Each structure stands twice: as structure tokens, then as C-alpha cells.
Chain A
Amino acid sequence: MGKTTIYLVLGVSIIVTLLILSLNSNAYQGLDSTIDYYDQTNARLIANSGIEIYLEKLRRNKNLTGSFNDNKLFSGTYNINISGPDSSLLVRSTAYFSGVQHTSIAAARRRKMDIPGIKSALYIDAQTIDLHLSGNVDIDGNDHMINGAPGTGTALPGIGVDSPADSSFVVNDISKNISKAIIGAGASPSVRNVYDNTDWIKVTQDYIFSADIVLPTGTYSQGTTFGTIAEPKITYCTGNVDFTDATGAGILIINGDMKLSGNFNFYGIVIAYGNSTIRTQTIGNNGIYGATVLVGDNVNIDSQGNAKFYYSSQAIQLAKQNLRSSRFEITNWWE
């Protein structure tokens, strides 16, 4: 009887154990099914984030290309491959999370640099205008080619301002000799209200974000090039810079004092930003072909030497055409 009871109890126990194991197995499978979906979602999100991260890096490093493997993110990893020209970039991201793999692909193209319409050879949008023009300063709103020859574009004012008061201030402040050297649309001195609605501060900040070259305080002498006509650059000067016999093309942003001496030539747009001064020295011939914009709280031109501020639609067009922005347009996204 005792043995029978033991067998009976053991038998029932085994049956109950098997049943519980079987039910638990279903519960585990149900849980696995949910976790599997979670893993797939995580792998997809990691792959997508990988693309976003590398698009951000591409904004900073415009020449970034190739494979970048084993990047860690959210307890997973992702591999990136960047290929193609600016007009059809392909960023492929393969992510791994808990044994699940997911591939996302983004096709993108780098946007052209957006340059607002230029309305004068020298545009002043500053809270405080303080021009000290002496020496041989030429501010010419007539269109020029980049070689200095006359262009075919419509002539713009030599100096453009936003209000009649500013216009009067500029006209009254400059000497007669300099006054004759401000030419362009209309009679000399060619100083006009241009009513430019462009938010130049915002535009400048956008350019700073896309800067190819960041120059700290220093002297940049002969042989220094900040972009060429074929491959212009966005150059951002964060301090006081002294350019001697340097050249450049594209967009030059100055946040400090820029001293020009020797033969400095720049093709494109020069923006004096914040509290900045453009100083031209008596030595050499300095020229800006394109346009110059003074924007900020206190921006000045202190010219004592030979300086040319020439409007050049060709220089601006070339900059627009060849500059590489830091903005992308996603044309297709696979995930």
C-alpha cells in the first residue's frame, strides 16, 4: 500500500511538472515573440541613428567617405559606409542588437550654398556705423569680372544701407575724395537705401556652421590660400587676423579685426560680423571682388591704403556654384 501511494504521488507529480513545463514553454515563446519585435525595433533605430550621426559628421567633415565599423550605440553596434559624390551620397548603416541585424540606407544630396541676393558692393547692416575711409579706396557697384574687367551684370549701389538716416550719415561722413570713389548705380557717391530684408545674422551663423576653415588669431602671409575659384571655401576668422599677400575665394566671415596688407585678394563675399573691423594698410593693393557685408553691433572699415571693394556677380555666382554647404536633402530612405 505504501509503495503504491509513493508511485501514485510520483506519477501525479511528474504529470503536473510536465504540464507546468509545457505551459511555461508557451509563456517563454510568447515572451520571445515580444522580445524579438523589441530587438528588431531597436536594431532598426540604431541603424537609423547611425545614419543621422554620420550625416551630422558629414556636415562637419565635407570629405568624409568610406567605412566606419563597430560604432557602439544603445547596447548595440552599427557599421557605416558612405559613398558617392555630393549630388548622390549613399549612407548605408547596418546595426546589430541582440543578434538581430537591420540595414538602413539613406540617399542624400548636399544642398548648394544659399547666398542671398546681393544689393550693393558694400552693404551695411549695423547698429553703429563707423566708417573711416581714407587713402585710395574704391567702392564700385558696377559689375566686374574676377579679373577686374567690366562685367555685364546690372550695376548696384556702391554702398547700400537700410535707411535714409544711415545714407545721410555715410554721405556726410566721408571726404570728397573718397566720395568720388564710391561709384555704381546712380550718381556719385553711390550710397543708396537698398532695403535688404535678409537676416544677415542668421545667414552668417549658417555659414559659420558650414565653415571649412576656422582661423584663430594670427598672421597669414604669402602663400596662404583660403579657397580657390574652382574650390572655394567658407573661412571663419574667430579672432584678429592679419592677411599679408594671402588670397581666398568663397565666403570669408570675420569676427574680430581683419588687417589687410600687401596684396590681399578675395573673390566672393566678405562678412564682417559682430564687433569687427576691416583695416586696410597703406602697403599694397587689396581687393574684394564680389560683395562685402557689414553686419553686427559695431562693424567698421578703417581704410588707410589702397583697397577695392568691387561688386562682381561672377565671383558671387562662382562661389554659389562651387561652395559645399553643410545641409543635406534626403532623397530616399530605406529602413
Chain B
Amino acid sequence: MNVILDIFSSTVIAGIVILVMMNFKLFTTDAKLSSDAELQLQTNTKTLAQILDYDLRKIGYNYNGTAIITAQAKRFSYWADTDNNGTPEIVTYFLGDSTIVPTPNPRDKNLFRVIGTDTTGGAALGLVDVRFTYRTAAGVITSIPANIKYIEVGIWTQSPYAVRKYGDVSDYLYNYWQLTVNPRNL
């Protein structure tokens, strides 16, 4: 009888331990996924910021005249010699359509970076929105190309996959990065 009781008790205890471990495993998997997604989001946002920072600091390089061509919230076009070959090219940034980005996130889009006649450039990297704001030397918002001295860029990014946040609710992680560039050639 005692033996039967021992076997029963140990089975119950083993079951509880296995359940706890399974739950723990699920938790750790979620935590890892969430952490990985967060890291990827952060890296993607930083990469986007680096691309913009690198490019925008070269506005007007090797170009005489008003370098900025289009100054809109979602579209920015300017002259710059981005490859330093002595010939300036037109660089255009604009936000693409979400349908062309093959991720489960329905909101992420391409940020097109078109240099000269090359129309293939574009980075998705979880970008869901971008906003260009233009300021004069005094910090006043303007859209007149000749008056622009500062370019402020707001980048909104989301993770490509939804991540379980609490309970059974899943959502996309989000991030925001803002940078202000004062191109020396303006």
C-alpha cells in the first residue's frame, strides 16, 4: 500500500514539475522572441537613421545653387555628390507602399532612396512612417528650399512580426527615432 502511495505521490509531483517546466519553457521562448524582435527593431531603426544621417549631411556637396529641390513631409529631393566623384546627382527620398513589403506586418513600407536614375534603392527595415520637417537657421519651420538650413527626420518603425506582449494579446513592437541634421553645404 505504501509503495502504491509513493508511486502515486511521485507521479503527481513529477507531473507538477513537468508542467512548471513546460510553462517555463513557453515563457522563455516568448521572452526570447520578444527580446530578439526588440533587438532587431532597434538595429533596424539605427540603420535607417545612419543611412539618413550619412546622406543628409552631404546635401549640396559639389553643387552650386539651391540644392534642395522638393521639401515635403513624405518626399525629399536634393542635389548632392554622394559618391564624391565630382558630379552631383539628384537624391530623392520618399515613402513607398506597404503592399510591396513581404512581412506579416501590414503597415511597414519601403523608404525609397533614389540616386540619379537608379530607382532600385529602398530599405524597409520595419519602417511604418517617416516625416521630414525643414527649418530655417532660426529654427522656424519652412518649406522654401532656399531657406532650409536644418532637416529634421522622424522615423517610426515596427517589428515585422507581432510579439505576445501580455496574456494572449499580440502586437507589433514599435520604435521612434528623431534626428536633426545641419548640412554644412546649405
Which one of B25, B31, B38 lies within 8 Å of A30 (CB-CB)?
B38
Of chain A, the residue at the smallest CB distance from B177 is A37
A134 in the interface (beta carbon within 8 A): no
A333 at the interface (CB under 8 A from B): yes
Segment 15-56 of B: residues with Cβ below 8 Å from A? 17, 21, 24-25, 28, 31-32, 35-36, 38-39, 42-43, 46, 49-50
Q: Which of B57-65, B71-79, B94-102 contacts the other chain?
A: B57-65
Segment at the interface with B among A18-26, A59-67, A292-300, A308-316: A18-26
Closest approach, in angstroms, between the C-beta of A84 and any C-beta of chain B? 14
Of all chain B residues, the one with the shortest Cβ separation from A24 is B35
B84 interface residue (CB < 8 Å to A): yes
* Whole-angstrom distance between the Cβ of A55 and the nearest chain B Cβ: 13
Chain B residue nearest in CB terms to A1:
B10
CB-based nearest A residue for B28: A19
B185 touching A37, Cβ below 8 Å = no
The tally of CB-CB contacts under 8 A between chains A and B is 51
Is A8 located at the chain interface by the 8 A CB criterion?
yes
Given contacts A334-B58, A335-B57, contact A33 B38 (CB under 8 A): no
User: Which B residues are CB-close (under 8 A) to A335?
Assistant: 57-58, 184
A334 pairs with B84, CB closer than 8 A: yes
| B contact residues around A283 at 8 Å (CB) | none
Residue from A26, A34, A40 with most neighbouring chain B CB atoms (10 Å): A26
Do A26 and B62 touch across chains, with their CB atoms under 8 A apart? no
Let me know if A188 is at the binding interface, CB within 8 A: no
Residues on A with C-beta less than 8 A from B17 are 8
Q: Is the CB of A333 within 8 A of B61?
A: yes
Q: Given A30-B38, A332-B61 in contact, is the A19-B46 Cβ separation under 8 Å?
A: no
Minimum C-beta distance from B40 to chain A (A): 10
Q: Mark A104-135, 1 if CB is under 8 A from B, else 0.
A: 01000000000000000000000000000000
**In the complex where A23-B35, A330-B184 touch, is A30 in contact with B42 (Cβ < 8 A)?**
yes
Q: Give the distance in Å from the alpha carbon of A268 to the alpha carbon of B46 in the complex.
A: 58
Chain B residue nearest to A334 (CB atoms) is: B61
The interface size bin for chain B is 20 to 34
Whether A26 lies near B185 (C-beta < 8 A) is no
- Report if A333-B185 is in contact (Cβ < 8 Å); known contacts: A33-B46, A34-B46, A37-B49: yes
- The answer to whether A26 and B35 touch across the interface, beta carbons within 8 angstroms, is yes
Within residues 84 to 113 of chain A, which ones have a CB less than 8 A from any CB in chain B? 105
Contacts A8-B17, A12-B21, A26-B38 given: A332-B57 contact, CB under 8 Å? Answer: no
Chain B residue at minimum C-beta to C-beta distance from A41: B53
Most A CB atoms within 10 A — which of B17, B21, B39, B62?
Answer: B39
- A12 to nearest B CB, angstroms? 7
Q: Which residue of A lies closest to B10 (CB)?
A: A1
- A222 at interface (Cβ–Cβ under 8 A)? no
- Contact partners of A330 in chain B: CB under 8 A: 184
Cross-chain contact A332 with B31 (CB below 8 angstroms) = no
A177 sits at the interface (CB 8 A): no
A8-B17, A19-B32, A40-B50 are known contacts. Are A332 and B39 too (CB-CB below 8 A)? no
By the criterion CB–CB under 8 Å, are A23 and B46 in contact? no
**What 0/1 readout, one digit per residue, does chain A (9-49) give for beta carbons within 8 Å of chain B?**
00010010001001100110110011011001000000000
CA distance A34 to B49 in the complex (A): 11
Quote the shortest CB–CB distance from B57 to chain A (angstroms).
Answer: 5
How distant is the Cα of A29 from the Cα of B43 in the complex, in angstroms? Answer: 9
Name the one of B31, B50, B58 contacting A19, with C-beta atoms under 8 angstroms. B31
- Also in contact, A30 and B39, with CB within 8 A (given A12-B21, A334-B84): yes
A192 vs chain B, min Cβ distance (A): 43
- Chain B residues lying within 8 Å of A40, measured Cβ to Cβ, are 50
Inside 8 A of A34's CB, which chain B residues have their CB?
Answer: 42, 46
Q: Which residues of A contact B62 (CB under 8 A)?
A: 332
A23 CA to B39 CA in the complex, in Å? 10
Q: Is the CB of A23 within 8 A of B185?
A: no
A178 to chain B, nearest CB (A): 54
| Interchain CA distance A8-B49 in the complex, whole Å | 47
Nearest B residue (CB) for A12: B21
Tell me the smallest distance from the CB of B83 to a CB of chain A, in Å: 11
A28 (CB) vs chain B CBs: closest residue: B39
- 27 of the cross-chain contacts (CB-CB < 8 Å) are A8-B17, A12-B24, A15-B24, A19-B28, A19-B32, A22-B32, A22-B35, A23-B35, A26-B38, A26-B39, A27-B35, A29-B39, A30-B38, A30-B43, A33-B42, A33-B43, A33-B46, A34-B42, A36-B46, A37-B46, A40-B50, A330-B184, A332-B61, A332-B185, A333-B185, A334-B58, A335-B184
B residues contacting A by CB (< 8 A) are 17, 21, 24-25, 28, 31-32, 35-36, 38-39, 42-43, 46, 49-50, 57-58, 61-62, 84, 184-185
- A-B interface, 3 closest residue pairs, ranked by CB to CB distance from nearest: A333-B184, A26-B35, A19-B28
